Amino acid sequence: MPENRRSSLVAPILLVGLGFLFLYSNFRPELEPWLVVSRYWPLILVFLGLGKLWDHFRRQNAPQVSKSWLSGREIAVLLFLAILGIAVTFGIASRHIHDVESVDRQGSEPVRAHLNIPAGELKVSGGANKLMEADFKYAEIEGKPKISYQLSASGGQLDVTQHGRKFHFGRTQNNWDVRLGNDIPMELTIHMGAGKNEVKVGELSLTKLEINMGAGEVMVDLTGDRRMDLNATVHGGVGNAIIRLPRNVGIRVHATGGIGSIDPGHLRRQGDEYFNEMYGKSPVTLRLQISGGIGKIELQSDNNTVQ
């Protein structure tokens, strides 16, 4: 009598899993099920091949293995569906969005601006015709950046925030390009999460700058023709920072290292403070307070030599 062989469950398991994926996408508009499948479908070939090898060697080593046990191919499909579930849970297949936003000046000076990006790449510069002009490119699961501008007797308050994901798995799709108006007296505070960031604000009419680094890299460019004093603070995070300083402005840096290190370049050191030759001679002074983190903070000038 021929041996009874149970039918394979590969196709039913795969159909049920894909059915749940497309059904779930109806309740998650930001989820693109075809993106999930198109990105990860080669894995099913890899897993099915490994499953067939597993079945082959298992039959050789244990010919009487129970037919009620899942086959290698069935386990392979379950693993493939588990990976799709992880991709969906952590938003790897979230839809990408490009928003262009702007905020009018509204005649209120000075302005206190606060930028808070949980994770991703942030670029801040001048050159805006309005108070702020920005491009946001992000995965929908990161959440739409929220812009708020409030007026009071003391000036304007600009806030750009984003709730972000609680957990990050894989590459973060979150890029901000924020441009601010040059001739607006401003205090700027930036909170950065994990990512690579560039802050080029030498053209801005800043009186105060505070940067809180997260995990990653940041380049802060303060070079340019300054017309007013600037008090800047950089709190180092887990990563490296390069701070470019102007040549013809008096500079005083107070640096306290954490676990990382601070490279003062060609600044003269006196205790915990560093000075350039223009300090006390130029009509404008840049005062920089640095607290190091786990990483390296490097001070440069626009030609890598502070005069």
Domain range enclosing 38: 10-89
In a domain, 2, yes or no: no
Could you tell me if 205 and 285 lie in one domain?
yes
Q: Evaluate if residue 88 carries a pLDDT over 90.
A: no
Of 54, 89, 124, the one marking the end of a domain is 89
- Of 49, 68, 89, which residue sits at a domain end? 89
Upstream peptide bond of 110 is cis (omega within 30 degrees of 0): yes
pTM of the model: 0.69
Asked if pLDDT for residue 247 goes beyond 70, the answer is yes
Total domain count, the chain:
2
> Taken in order 66, 71, 16, 89, is the CA torsion positive or negative?
positive
**For residue 31, what pLDDT is reported?**
61
| Residues 193, 54 share a domain | no
Q: What band does 90 get if pLDDT is binned at 50, 70 and 90?
A: low
Residue 192 reports pLDDT greater than 50: yes
Above 70 in pLDDT, residue 134?
yes
Question: Which of 60, 89, 118 corresponds to the end of one domain?
Answer: 89
124 belongs to a structural domain: yes
Q: Are residues 198 and 213 in the same domain?
A: yes
Percent of the chain with pLDDT over 90: 35
Instruction: Look at residue 3 and tell me if it is in a domain.
Output: no
Higher pLDDT, 277 or 73: 277
pLDDT 10s digits, 196-244: 899 999 999 999 999 998 888 899 999 988 888 999 999 877 888 899 9
